[in-house]
């Protein structure tokens, strides 16, 4: 029975895409804004929020 649980857990983690492979356009916009404006800039909030929203859509928690 424990073998069945392991295969189910493995399958569910395999179905989830890697974080590096999703939300690439949003990540690029966020990174460019932060690069040219600095991490303390409030002008990047829009891009950061779009990226976080996209990542949450794929099941990733953002902090």
Residue 47: Cβ within 10 Å count: 19
Q: How far apart are CA 45 and CA 52, in angstroms?
A: 10
Domains in the chain (CATH in brackets) are 24-63 (1.10.287.1130)
Task: Tell me the binding residues.
Answer: 20-21
| pTM of the full structure | 0.72
pLDDT at 16: 83
Give me the mean pLDDT over the 8-20 stretch. Answer: 68
Instruction: Assess whether pLDDT exceeds 70 at residue 48.
Output: yes
Task: Find all residues with CB under 8 Å of 37, minimum gap 6, and list them.
Answer: 43, 44
Task: Tell me the binding residues for Cu cation.
Answer: 20-21
Sole residue written with tokens 């996209």 = 54
Contact 33, 8 (CB under 8 A): no
Instruction: Assess whether pLDDT exceeds 70 at residue 2.
Output: no
Instruction: Assess whether pLDDT exceeds 50 at residue 10.
Output: no
User: Would you state the structure tokens that stand for residue 59, as one six-digit string?
Assistant: 């099941």
């Amino acid at each position: 029975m424990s073998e069945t649980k392991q295969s189910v857990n493995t399958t569910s983690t395999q179905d989830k895409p890697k974080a590096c492979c999703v939300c690439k356009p949003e990540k690029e916009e966020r990174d460019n804004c932060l690069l040219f404006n600095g991490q303390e800039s409030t002008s990047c909030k829009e891009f950061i929020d779009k990226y976080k929203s996209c990542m949450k859509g794929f099941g990733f928690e953002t902090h």
